[in-house]
Amino acid sequence: MVHSAWIVYARIIATHLRSRRRQTILSALGITFGISFYVAMVSFMSGVNEFLEDIMLSATPHVRLYNDVTLDSVTIAQRWFGRSAMVVVYHPKVAERSRAIRNAPEILATLKRQHQEILGISPRVTAQIYYTQGTTEVPGSLVGVDLVEENKLFALSSKITAGSLRAVLTTDDGIMLGGGLADKLNVRVGDRLPVTLPSGTRRLMTVAAIVRFGIAQIDNAQSYTTLKTVQRLLGKDQRYITDIYIKLRDRDDAPRLAALYARLFGCSAEDWQTFNATILVSFTIRNILTYAVSISMLIVAGFGIYNILTMMILEKLKDIAILKAMGFGQRDIRAIVLGQSLALGIAGGVAGLVVGFLMSLGISRVPFRNEFLPGMEYLPVKFSLLYYAVAIVFALGSAAVAGIFPARRAARVDPVSILRG
């Protein structure tokens, strides 16, 4: 007969809440406020995070393979003398080692053939160079890529603000200059631009396009050209590849796969989470902030519910005593008061979801343009059912916590002392 008991509870809950309409609405509004704020903030923050993440990943791969040039003389010595020996190396120096990945063409072939988890691969050759303009020298890098493949992975052509990808491919020694660099050097498409290698080699390039990713480190320092151009500039052959950029089907798999590739191919591998760690930390901090503010608001709302329930109990002591005399046990009274609390939580929470959704919709209609953030026209908002589910759980949770003490208090009311009058 649990079923009929809840029908009776619902009737009592409804009648009691209706008899205190104003306070009921006010305390439910507290929850509405907290929940709508949470929904709007978390949707907005996640929208911003996702937007920045997309920008970040528009220029960086999920996994990058490269050849790490570090001082590993100690480990070599250790390998020779054994683990128990103490090895001290005085004045270690980096040997003239190639930055190229060993057996890069074979690795590329294997990845393409055997790895279903990969969406695309782009080999690169990077060279540290100086861009020279008159007497100024700006340090930066020149990246040789398979432009067609790279365009598929990172949508290069959508980020070109002047010139075209085609022009880079067809112009002799044509380069695609980073937007920040173009500003600094004050050059335009069609201009000639001399570059110098650390070795002293100089070459005259032609600016065929200008590209902006919205990431300062890249736009201010990096330019693109074909693989062959850089290989020739460095005096290397076609096997000379310094990095392999990999895009995965599921970017969350990157850390696991990076470790796997490093093991398989004997090179270094880095996942995007690792080389963007600082940005990801800022996402986490933003999230913590959102949750901290929302939870504090819900605590305040919870106090509102606690207050009205406590007041209602004091006012309805007689009713509680009568119900007890008529066969309602402590359990029933507890359920009724908790039910009142949850009813406030549900009503306020659902209203909060609606208001939160409308607020998110409003935010997503606010125009926002910034030359450093290409592709943004309105404030970014992420609409996800998950946030709404979490929000309603929050609403019910805070209502339940707020209801526990009043419910226990009501259940303990001694009917005789009240009915005596």
Partner 1 sequence: MTILDARDIVKIFPEPVPFQVLRGISLTIARGEFVSIVGKSGCGKSTLLYVLSTLDTDYRGTLTIADTVVTGKDQDFLAHFRGEHIGFIFQFHFLLQEFTILDNVLLPALKLGKEPPDRVRDRAMGLLERMGIADCAHRPAKQLSGGQQQRAAIARALINQPALVIGDEPTGNLDSENTAAVLDLLSSICRDMGQTVVIVTHDREVAARSDRILTMADGRIIGQERRRP
SS3 397: helix
Could you give the string, one character per residue 7-46, with x where binding to partner 1 holds by CB under 8 A and - elsewhere?
xx--xx--xx-xx---------------------------
Is residue 416 close enough to count as binding partner 1 by CB under 8 A?
Answer: yes
The burial of 61, by beta-carbon neighbours within 10 Å (0-12 exposed, 13-18 middle, 19 or more buried), is given as buried
Per rule CB under 8 A, count of chain residues that contact partner 1: 31
Is residue 319 close enough to count as binding partner 1 by CB under 8 A?
Answer: yes
Residues 55-114 that bind partner 1 (CB under 8 A): none
Residue type at 327?
G
| Interacting residue with partner 1 among 206, 273, 330, 364 (CB under 8 A) | 330
CB 176 within 8 A of CB 223: yes
Phi–psi pair at 139, nearest 5 degrees: -75, 150
CB 174 within 8 A of CB 142: no
Is residue 324 close enough to count as binding partner 1 by CB under 8 A?
Answer: yes
Closer CB to partner 1, residue 219 or residue 319? 319
Contact stretch for partner 1 (CB under 8 A) within 22-30, 163-171, 176-184, 411-419: 411-419
Q: Kindly state the smallest distance separating residue 411's Cβ from partner 1, in Å.
A: 8
Closer CB to partner 1, residue 83 or residue 420? 420
Residue 301: its H or E element:
helix 277-315
Is residue 326 close enough to count as binding partner 1 by CB under 8 A?
Answer: yes
Q: Kindly state the smallest distance separating residue 7's Cβ from partner 1, in Å.
A: 7
Is residue 5 close enough to count as binding partner 1 by CB under 8 A?
Answer: yes
Both structure tokens of 370: 């910034």
Q: Kindly state the smallest distance separating residue 5's Cβ from partner 1, in Å.
A: 6
Q: How far apart are CA 44 and CA 364, in angstroms?
A: 8
Contact stretch for partner 1 (CB under 8 A) within 258-266, 314-322, 374-382, 389-397: 314-322
Closer CB to partner 1, residue 62 or residue 334? 334
Is residue 331 close enough to count as binding partner 1 by CB under 8 A?
Answer: yes
Contact stretch for partner 1 (CB under 8 A) within 256-264, 317-325, 379-387, 395-403: 317-325
| Interacting residue with partner 1 among 82, 200, 327, 367 (CB under 8 A) | 327
Longest dimension (CA), the chain: 105
Cβ contacts of 158-164, under 8 Å, gap ≥ 24: 158/375, 159/58, 159/211, 159/212, 159/213, 159/374, 160/209, 160/210, 160/211, 161/210, 161/211, 161/212, 161/374, 162/188, 162/189, 162/209, 162/210, 163/189, 163/207, 163/208, 163/209, 163/210, 164/208, 164/209
Q: In which residue are the tokens 């009501």 written?
A: 410
Binding site for partner 1 (CB under 8 A): 1, 3-5, 7-8, 11-12, 15-16, 18-19, 318-319, 321-332, 415-416, 419-421
